[in-house]
Amino acid sequence: MADAVFREIVEALPFPVALVGPDQRLRAANEPAIALFGVNAVGQHFVVSLRNPAIVSGVERVLARGEATEATMRQLQDPREMLWRAVIRPVTTEDGRGALISFEDITAVEETGQMRRDFVANVSHELRTPLTAFRGFVETLRGAARHDAKAQDRFLEIMEREAERMSRLIDDLLSLSRVEQEVRVQPREQADLVAITEQAIALLSGGPGAGRITLDAPSEAVVQGDVRQLQQVVTNLVENALKYGGADGQVRIDIAGPGRDAVLQRMAWRLSVTDEGEGIEEHHIPRLTERFYRVDSHRSREMGGTGLGLAIVKHIVTRHRGRLRIESEPGKGSIFSVFLPVSGREEVSE
Ligand SMILES: Nc1ncnc2c1ncn2[C@@H]1O[C@H](COP(=O)(O)OP(=O)(O)OP(=O)(O)O)[C@@H](O)[C@H]1O
Ligand SMILES: [Mg+2]
Residue nearest to atom 29 of ligand 1 (CA): 294
User: Residue type for 119, please?
Assistant: F
For the ranges 139-148, 299-308, 339-348, the lowest mean pLDDT is seen at 339-348
156 φψ region: left (φ > 0), alpha (ψ -120 to 50), beta (else): alpha
Residue 311 CA to ligand 2 center (angstroms) comes to 9
Amino acid in the structure at residue 113:
G
Dihedral angle of Cα 217, 218, 222, 227, to the nearest 10 degrees:
30
Running DSSP on this structure, what letter comes out for residue 108? H
Task: Answer whether residue 210 shows pLDDT above 70.
Answer: no
Catalogue all structural domains in the chain, each as residue range(s) with its CATH number: 3-105 (3.30.450.20), 108-182 (1.10.287.130), 186-350 (3.30.565.10)
pLDDT tops 50 at residue 295 = yes
Q: What is the average per-residue pLDDT within 133-147?
A: 89
Residues within 5 Å of ion ligand 2 by Cβ? 240, 309
Pocket of ligand 1 (CB under 6 A): 172, 236, 240-241, 244-245, 275, 277, 280, 288, 293-296, 300, 305-311, 334
Report, in angstroms and rounded to the nearest whole number, the Rg of the chain calculated over CA atoms. Answer: 29
d(CA 111, CA 131): 30
**CA–CA separation, 41 and 307 (whole Å):** 51
DSSP count for the chain of H helices, then E strands: 10, 12
Query: Which pLDDT does position 350 carry in this prediction?
Result: 41
Share of the chain above pLDDT 70, in %: 97
Distance in Å, CA 194 to ligand 2 centroid: 21
CA distances from residue 203 to 197, 206, 232, 234, 245 in whole angstroms, order as listed: 10, 6, 11, 11, 19
Least Cα distance to 253 among 193, 177, 184 occurs for: 193
The percentage of the chain sitting over the pLDDT mark of 90, rounded to a whole number, equals 62
Pairing of strands 213-216, 251-261: parallel
Q: Quick: pLDDT tens for 156-204.
A: 998 898 888 889 899 999 989 999 888 888 898 999 999 999 999 988 8
**pLDDT at residue 88, as a whole number:** 97
More confident residue, 299 or 112: 112
Instruction: Specify the ligand 1 atom closest to the Cα of 311.
Output: 18
Q: Which atom of ligand 1 is nearest to the CA of 295?
A: 31
Inter-CA distances, 163 with 134, 160, 168, 253, Å:
9, 5, 9, 32
Residue 344 has pLDDT above 90, yes or no: no
Q: Please determine, for residue 298, whether its predicted confidence score (pLDDT) is greater than 70.
A: yes
**Least confidently predicted of 8-17, 142-151, 330-339:** 142-151
Q: What is the pTM of this model?
A: 0.75
- In sequence order, which residues have a C-beta less than 8 Å from that of residue 128 and are 6 or more positions away? none
Given pLDDT bands bounded at 50, 70 and 90, which one contains residue 209? Answer: low
CB 322 within 8 A of CB 338: yes
Peptide linkage before 16 cis (omega within 30 of 0) = no
- Torsion angles phi and psi, residue 56, rounded to 5: -60, -50
Each residue of 301-320: pLDDT tens digit?
777 778 899 999 999 999 99
**Cβ atoms of residues 207 and 283 within 8 Å:** no
Ligand nearest to the CA of 295: 1
Q: Which atom of ligand 1 is nearest to the CA of 169?
A: 26
Half-sphere exposure at residue 325, Cβ-oriented, CA atoms within 13 angstroms: 16
The whole-angstrom separation of Cα 273 and Cα 253 is 5
Ligand 2: centre distance to CA 115 (Å): 21
What average pLDDT does range 216-243 have in this prediction? 94
Centre of ligand 2 to C-alpha 79, Å, is: 31
> Residue 38 Cα, ligand 2 centroid: separation in angstroms?
46
Residue from 240, 234, 213 nearest 303 by CA: 240
